[in-house]
Amino acid sequence: MGKRKIAIEKLENPNKRQVTFSKRRKGLFKKAADACLLCDAEIAVIAFSPAGKPYTFGHTSVDSVIDRYLTRSSGPVSGGNINIEAEQSRLSREIKDLERELKQQRENNKSRYWWEQIDVEKYDSVDKLQSLIDGLEKLRSNIVLRLPSSFANGEGLGSTGGDNWNDNNNDMNPPLLLTNGVSTVDYVDQAVVDDGVDASVIACSAENMDDDWLSEEDWEQLMRDDIELLPAV
């Protein structure tokens, strides 16, 4: 698939291995996303890089798919053979389910895209929070880069809420731009991620779109391209 054929065996050059992982992870996630949309399927992918860093893709979400997988066929264990190992495994899984359930009691709102359900509660340390912020910043940056030119300067952003990035200081970064797909955007919401960080979630109503605006399909593609940029929680 490249300039020359390679055997599917461990790449011994660490650098090459990392580069290949990076590229193939991107491709893998794209394939998964495409399959989800094309076939109306639910797919989760969890990948640990050679360096041990986790990357995930999930539609509707990683956790929901894992849940569905773990929950499925949870019938009573057959009698008789009480295997310690199996019992431990069962208990452990049960407990983890519980923990996850507890954690997710607040996230009952099942939304279509992962970015609609970022759980700020999970970011319980400065490091984690910074990691999220960095990821979102890079995501924003990448999206802004590909916006129609008129948006690159902040024009046309239908900021109908209290956000006033435009009005203030052009040295500041433009507001964090997230959307759950043009077809459903029609809201402006603002979430204070931290005292010092104003992570506005901004979208504009369909009425504000002109021909420069990206199609829903384009948006989804962009978001998929960028999913990888966000660190797993």
Partner DNA sequence: ATTGCTATATATAATGA
Partner DNA sequence: TTCATTATATATAGCAA
> Under rule CB under 7 A, which residues in 3-42 are in contact with DNA?
3-6, 15-16, 18-24, 26-28, 30-31, 34, 38
Compose the 62-91 pattern: x for residues touching a copy of itself by CB under 8 A, - for all others. Answer: x--xx-xxx-xxxxxxx-xx-xxxxxxx-x
Nearer to a copy of itself, 31 or 146 (CB): 31
Compose the 173-212 pattern: x for residues touching DNA by CB under 7 A, - for all others. Answer: ----------------------------------------
Dist. CA 110–CA 1, nearest whole Å: 38
Using CB under 7 A as the binding criterion, the count of chain residues that bind DNA stands at: 28
- 134, 116, 138, 127: which is closest to 187 by C-alpha? 116
The CB-side HSE value for 47 (13 A sphere, CA atoms) comes to: 20
Least distance (Å) from DNA to the CB of residue 205? 30
Nearer to DNA, 18 or 104 (CB): 18
Amino acid at 174: P
- 224, 210, 202: which is closest to 148 by C-alpha? 210
Using CB under 8 A as the binding criterion, the count of chain residues that bind a copy of itself stands at: 80
Dist. CA 184–CA 181, nearest whole Å: 6
Nearer to DNA, 20 or 166 (CB): 20
The verdict on 194 binding a copy of itself (CB under 8 A) reads no
The verdict on 48 binding a copy of itself (CB under 8 A) reads yes
Residue 166's alpha-carbon distances to 55, 109, 156, in angstroms, are: 34, 32, 10
Degrees to nearest 5, angle at CA 7 with 5 and 11: 110
Least distance (Å) from DNA to the CB of residue 11? 7
Q: Report what 74 binds from a copy of itself, DNA, none; CB cut-off 5-8 Å by kind.
A: a copy of itself
Q: Report what 15 binds from DNA, a copy of itself, none; CB cut-off 5-8 Å by kind.
A: DNA
- 48, 5, 57, 53: which is closest to 26 by C-alpha? 57
Q: Are 206 and 212 in contact (CB under 8 A)?
A: no
Q: Which two tokens stand for residue 22?
A: 């990076």
Within residues 136-165, the interface with a copy of itself by CB under 8 A covers none
Dist. CA 216–CA 183, nearest whole Å: 7
Positions touching DNA (CB under 7 A) are: 1-6, 15-16, 18-24, 26-28, 30-31, 34, 38, 49-51, 53, 228-229
